[in-house]
Chains A and B, each alone.
Chain A
Amino acid sequence: MKKYALIGIIVLAVLLAACGPTATTPATSKPAGTTEKPAATVTSVEETAPTTKPQATAPDRPTEVPPPEQSENWNVQGSPDAPVTIIEYSDFQ
């Protein structure tokens, strides 16, 4: 019984150390089989954190298609011979 109590205290101590804000590395001398739980909780937190990164501004999967017939030039204002041409790339949202 004393042995189990000792192991219990060690597990508790490791748990506390692992969950504490300053615990960056797990204890080096630990009895086999007793430290898996705290170690697992730490890594699972690390694994879930970065997965919800927002996408960059570049859109998904641009596909290669030939440009359509450019008689559809209602997106153009001004003369094609103008000395300055401003192209705006934008969406409406």
Chain B
Amino acid sequence: MQYIFKNFPLHSIHPQAQKAAEAAECAGEQGVYWEMHDQLFATQKQWAGKDDAVDIFKQLAAELGVDQDRFNACLDGGKYADKVTADLQEGMNAGVRGTPAFRINGVALSGAQPFSAFRQQIEFALAGGQAPTQEVPADSYRSLGKADAPVVITEFADYQ
């Protein structure tokens, strides 16, 4: 499984989201992207809607042990503003209109969905993208349909 996080800052309703995304990129440059990603979500209530959000981002990065001067210059200089905008544009082109939005082998899944929805989509992707992984049992009286069908459903059950 490959997982990719792309920035989709909703400027109109999330005014600090752009700089937050840039802060994560600046942290990524110094090898702590996922740590910053997690910290930004964990501390969201502390900086959302605050004018000094950028200062809080700098503090979070400092706590992660980055080179502070380099991080601050990166964030203040908007080094990754274009990357964030490119992500946003790509999402728009892919039909994304709100967050979070997912594409699982290209198939859309929008909003905060339960695990079961992801599982269903992942299984669908696996079934559609390659040959079935399950082997048809040798005792074929237990199977229905063709052995080389693109989708195989195996049921594990008891009789009670």
**Taking beta carbons and an 8 Å cutoff, which residues of A are in contact with B?**
54-60, 62-68, 72, 74-80, 82-93
Contact = CB atoms under 8 A, between A and B. Distances in A.
Contacts of B82: 65, 68
Interface string B97-112: 1111111110000000
A57 B2 contact: no
Interface of B: 1-14, 16-17, 20-21, 24-25, 28-29, 31, 33-34, 37, 40-41, 44, 48, 80, 82-83, 85-92, 94, 96-105, 118, 122, 125-126, 129-130
Contact of A75 (B5, B17, B100): B5
> DSSP majority for the A interface?
loop
Contacts of A91: 7-10, 14, 17, 20-21, 99
A93 B11 CA distance: 10
B130 A57 contact: no
